[in-house]
Amino acid sequence: MCGVVGYIGEKQAWPIILDGQKRLEYRGYDSAGIAIGDGGLELRKIRAVGKTAIAQIRAIAEEEKLKGTYGIGHNRWATHGGKTEENAHPHADCTNEIQVVHNGQVENCVALKKALEGAGHVFTSETDTEVIAHLIESYMVAGANFVEAVRETVKQLRGTFGIVVMHSQIPNTLVAARFGSPLVLGIGESEVFVASDASPIVAHTKEVIYMEDGEMAVLGARGSYRISTFENVQVARSVERINLTVDEIQKSGFPHFMLKEINEQDKVLRDTLAGRLDSYDGLAILGGIRNHEAVLAGATNIIILACGTAYHAGLVGAKMIEDLARIPVRVMFASEFRYSNVAMPEGTVVVAISQSGETYDTLEAVREAKRRGAQAFGIVNVVGSSIARECKRGVYTHAGFEIGVASTKAFVCQLAVMAEIALYLGRACGLSLAEGQRIVAALMSLPHKVEKLLQGLAASKKVEDLAAFLKDTRGMFYIGRDYMYPIALEGALKLKEIAYVHAEGYAAGELKHGPLALIEKDTPCVVLCPSDSLLEKTRLTIRQLKANGAQVIVISSEDLQEVPEFFEVRIPSGGSPVTDAILATIPLQLLAYHMAVKRGHDPDMPRNLAKSVTVE
C-alpha cells in the first residue's frame, strides 16, 4: 500500500528520492518522509503530512541546502495509526541512528512491541514499522553488525514487508529486504536504486533486478550491491531491461492520469490483442500458456480469484468461458477463498486476475489453491510481479503502466484477455469454426470502435454534461443483464471510488425482488441496454423504473431504433457480448471521472485507497 524508494551513488540523493516518491504517490499519499546521509555520522530526517507532503519536504530541503549522496524515502497509506507526522516514515530506534521505511504489514507487531518495551525500548508512533527499527537495535546491542542485525530481524517478522534500512554510523550503506511486498533494484553507472516498483527508477536506468521473497540486498558506494537469502546464501540474480518509458508515467497534457488512461484504451487494446488472434482458424494464440494447453483445456472446473475491479472482469470472463467452452466456472473474492473450504476436485484450475500482480489477498489465494492441488494461471499487467512468478504461466494484459488508483485501461484489457482465454477454451472444446471466426472479428474491430467512441464522447461532452446535472445526487443505481450485470457493478464501484457517491449495481431481473423499494422520484438509474437477445426484457426494466419516477440514463447500442429514456448515450455495437461490455464500460468510467471532478475531488487519489493493495 505504501511506496518506498532509496538511492546511493555520487549524485545528491534527495532530489532523486523525492522525484521517485512523486512517481509512487499512487501507492500512498497521506504522509511522506526522507532520511539523507552525507557520509558523516548523522542523518537528516524530514517528514510531513497530507497530499502536499512531498512539496513540503522539498521546500525544507531546498531551504536547508540539504546535501548527501544516499538516503531513503517513503509515501504512506495509513494502516497502523492515524495520519500524523509521528506515524510518517522513516521510523527510528531509541538512538535515532537506525532509519527504516516499510511497505507491508507486520502481523506480529503487538507481541514484538510488548517484548521490546519490556526490554526498555520507548516507542514514539502507533505504527507496526517502528518495531523493525527497535528490533534491529536490539540485535546490534547484543553484538551483531548492522547487516546481520537486519538479517536476524526479518526472520522474526510475520506478515509482509519490503523494507529499506540505513544507519547513521554505517555510512554509504543501504540494506533492503523483501517478503510479500515488491522491491526492485535499479542498476546505474556508479549508483544503485531501490523502490517498490520501476516507476522511480526508469528516468535514471532501464537495468533492473527484481528481488524475490526471502532475499536481502546490501547496497554500497560506486554502484555495488550484494544479494543473499535471509539465511545468508549468496544469490546470483540476472539483470533485466525494462520497457517502461518516462512518457508513460506523465500526464501528457491531460489534467489527470485517470482521464489519460481512459483515452489510451484503444491503444492498449490493440497491444493486448496484437498477435493473439487467428482470423482464418478462429483461434486465440496465447504464448503464455504454450506447453500448458492440456492443463487448461482439460480443466474439469475453473475458479477465478480476484478482488475489486478484477473480480468484475472475472465475472464477465466466467460467463464467456461457460458460454463458449461449457466448463463450470466459479468466481470468488480472493480474500474469501483463503478462508473457505471450497471443493477442488482433480482437474481444478485457478485463474488469478490482478492489475499489479502484487495484490496480497490474490497472491495468498493462489498459494493456498496450489497447496490444495490446483493448477494456477495468472492474468496480470506487470511483468515479473509476484503473482506472475507464483503462477509461472498465464497471459499478460499489456495495458501499460496504470497510475490512476481507480483502474480503467487495465480493466478493459483484463476483459479482452478473458475473451481470448474463453475463445481458446471454446475452440478446444468443440466451438465451431464459424463462431470462432465471428468472435475473432468482433475482437479485432474493437480497438477502432473504442477509438471512435472516445472521440465522439469527447466531442459531444454528453457525459460531462450529465455529470454536471448529477453531481449533487446522493445515490445512483446501475442495472444490467447477463454480461452487463458485472459492468453495472463496475460502474457503481467507479462512482464510489472517486466521486464518493453511494452507488449499487443490480441484475435487472432482481429489481422486483427488493431494490425497487429504493426507487423514488428522480432517482438516477443507469441502465445498460445493448442490442442483444435480452433487449426486450431490458426495455421492460426501463419502463418499470420510469413508472416509479426514476431518472433513467440508458447506455444503448447505436443501431437501436427506439429506447425510451431520460438521458441516452449511444455506443457502437460490439459484435459479441464481451465487446459490448467493454464498449459500455467507457461512458461509465467517464461519468465517474467527471462527477469526481465536478464534486471537487482528485480522481487520481481517492481517499483511503491505494493502487497496489499489498496488505491483508
DSSP type of residue 474 = S
Per-domain boundaries in the chain = 3-249, 251-449, 461-602
- Between CA 320 and CA 326, with CA 292 as vertex, the angle to 5 degrees is 25
Q: What are phi and psi of 356, to 5 degrees?
A: -75, -25
The candidate with the shortest Cα–Cα distance to 8, out of 36, 44, 46, is 36
State residue 562's pLDDT score. Answer: 64
Per-residue pLDDT at 536 exceeds 90: no
The candidate with the shortest Cα–Cα distance to 413, out of 347, 480, 335, 317, is 317
Which tens digit of pLDDT belongs to each residue from 484-494? 999 999 999 99
Per-residue pLDDT at 29 exceeds 80: no
Confidence band, pLDDT 50/70/90 cuts, at residue 566? low
Q: Greatest CA separation found in the chain? A: 81
What is 3-249's CATH number, 3.30.830.10, 3.30.70.20, 3.60.20.10, 3.40.50.2000?
3.60.20.10
Grid coordinates representing 270 are 490493440
Alpha helices of 326-357 — where are they, by DSSP H?
Answer: 334-337
State residue 190's pLDDT score. Answer: 93
Amino acid at 213: D
Judge whether 91 and 99 are in contact, CB under 8 Å: yes
More confident residue, 539 or 123: 123
Average pLDDT value for residue range 289-301:
85
Distance from C-alpha of 581 to C-alpha of 583, rounded to nearest angstrom = 5
Which tens digit of pLDDT belongs to each residue from 304-353? 999 999 999 999 999 999 999 999 999 999 999 988 988 888 899 999 99
State residue 616's pLDDT score. Answer: 58
State residue 561's pLDDT score. Answer: 65
User: 3-class DSSP state for residue 375?
Assistant: strand
- Helix or strand holding residue 174 (H, E): strand 173-179
The candidate with the shortest Cα–Cα distance to 407, out of 238, 236, 268, is 268
Which tens digit of pLDDT belongs to each residue from 189-211? 999 999 998 889 988 999 999 99
Judge whether 359 and 387 are in contact, CB under 8 Å: yes
Fold match, 3-249 / 461-602: no
Residues in the chain: 616
Confidence band, pLDDT 50/70/90 cuts, at residue 28? low
Cα-Cα end-to-end distance for the chain: 10
More confident residue, 405 or 489: 489
Grid coordinates representing 13 are 540523493
Judge whether 27 and 42 are in contact, CB under 8 Å: no
Q: Which CATH architecture has domain 461-602?
A: 3-Layer(aba) Sandwich (3.40)
Distance from C-alpha of 210 to C-alpha of 192, rounded to nearest angstrom = 13
pTM: 0.84
The candidate with the shortest Cα–Cα distance to 512, out of 489, 473, 543, is 543
State residue 26's pLDDT score. Answer: 74
Confidence band, pLDDT 50/70/90 cuts, at residue 615? low
- Lowest mean pLDDT of 160-169, 235-244, 268-277, name the range: 235-244
State residue 497's pLDDT score. Answer: 95
Distance from C-alpha of 264 to C-alpha of 259, rounded to nearest angstrom = 9
State residue 237's pLDDT score. Answer: 85
Average pLDDT value for residue range 503-528:
90
The candidate with the shortest Cα–Cα distance to 495, out of 376, 403, 587, 402, is 587
Would you please indicate which residues are annotated as catalytic (active-site) residues?
A: 2, 611
- Helix or strand holding residue 350 (H, E): strand 348-354
pLDDT, mean over the chain: 91
State residue 581's pLDDT score. Answer: 95
- Between CA 187 and CA 190, with CA 188 as vertex, the angle to 5 degrees is 115
Confidence band, pLDDT 50/70/90 cuts, at residue 564? low
What is 251-449's CATH number, 2.60.40.1120, 1.10.10.10, 3.60.15.10, 3.40.50.10490?
3.40.50.10490
The candidate with the shortest Cα–Cα distance to 47, out of 92, 88, 76, is 88
DSSP type of residue 106 = E
Q: What are phi and psi of 215, to 5 degrees?
A: -120, 150
More confident residue, 114 or 2: 114
The candidate with the shortest Cα–Cα distance to 408, out of 261, 508, 207, 547, is 261
Judge whether 394 and 378 are in contact, CB under 8 Å: yes
Confidence band, pLDDT 50/70/90 cuts, at residue 288? confident
**Which segments within 107-259 are labelled E, that is strand?**
159-167, 173-179, 184-187, 192-195, 207-210, 215-220, 225-229, 240-241
Judge whether 306 and 481 are in contact, CB under 8 Å: no
Burial class from Cβ neighbours inside 10 Å (0-12, 13-18, 19+) for residue 159 reads: middle
Average pLDDT value for residue range 393-400:
91
Distance from C-alpha of 550 to C-alpha of 532, rounded to nearest angstrom = 24
Tell me what percent of the residues of the chain surpass a pLDDT of 90: 70
DSSP type of residue 431 = -
- Helix or strand holding residue 586 (H, E): helix 577-598
Which tens digit of pLDDT belongs to each residue from 406-463? 999 999 999 999 999 999 999 999 999 999 999 999 999 999 999 999 999 999 999 9
**CB 291: neighbour CB atoms within 10 A?**
8
